[in-house]
Amino acid sequence: MTDTAPPERPLAFHHTPGTGPTIVFLPGYASDMTGSKALAIEAWAKAEGRAFIRFDYGGCGQSPGSFEEQTLALWRDDALAIIDYAVEGPVVLVGSSMGGWIMLLAARDRPDRVVGLVGIAPAPDFTDWGFTQQEKLTLLTQGRLEKPSPYSDQPTVTTRAFWSSGEANRLMHAVIPVNVPVRLIQGQEDKDVPFTRTVHLAAVLRSADVQTVLVKDGDHRLSRPQDIDLILRAIQDVIPA
């Protein structure tokens, strides 16, 4: 069954009841809650009796709205709405790619709720480093950019509004005020997020309990069985005893 919350911006989500803290999965850009990693974590949570939520940002998957009208700030607010309206008690956030950026923003904004973080090829600030100067110029002058997607037959669309929102919410220029256990899993064959970005992210997190796992032959998706095993171990590692 798919639930929705909150009423003013209904978001589709699946909630698996269980013991806390609730694990919340944050998808990547143009992704949704039916991805292989979200479903694998859900299956593990059910088997372990742990609470888990996967959801769709506004304009994605089963959540209403137009994809091209969304921004990073709106999707950050969607993650906060799930924490505020759909979950009771502490949460562990698991963010994939762009979801890793939203994970960090949500942890900063809900320090009383978030008790652990797992970033999977996290991509904070990718509006800065993920586009060429020409692509940024196209966004600014034409308001929209299409790029071929290695994950879909449809191109990946980025709007000027999303790009501007990302630029306004960059984190890695200073210490990121996160004080909980953090695990970062990054493929060294990732063509979307250079692994050096994740190494730098570990350095700018305030928390002393940060571990980075570099998977030498891992790509951006990190969805092979051995990658899923790493992710599940990382989640178990940040759950408070």
d(CA 87, CA 81): 9
| 190 is an active site residue | yes
220 classed as catalytic:
yes
Q: Quick check: helix, strand or coil at residue 42?
A: helix
SS3 50: strand
Coil, strand, or helix at residue 196? Answer: helix
In the annotation, is 84 catalytic? no
**DSSP letter at 176?**
B
Look up residue 216 and give its two tokens.
């030498």
| CA atoms within a 13 Å half-sphere pointing along the CA-CB vector of 201 | 32
Distance of CA 72 to the CA centre of its chain: 11
Q: How far, in Å, CA of 241 to CA of 218, rounded?
A: 30
Choice among 77, 78, 190, 192 that is catalytic: 190
Q: Is 8 helix (H, G, I), strand (E, B) or coil?
A: coil
Marked catalytic residue, from 14, 165, 192, 220? 220
**Catalytic annotation, pick one of 14, 97, 125, 227:** 97
- Residue 104 is inside which H or E element, if any? helix 98-109
* CB-count exposure of residue 136 (10 Å: 0-12, 13-18, 19+): middle
Residues with catalytic function: 97, 190, 220
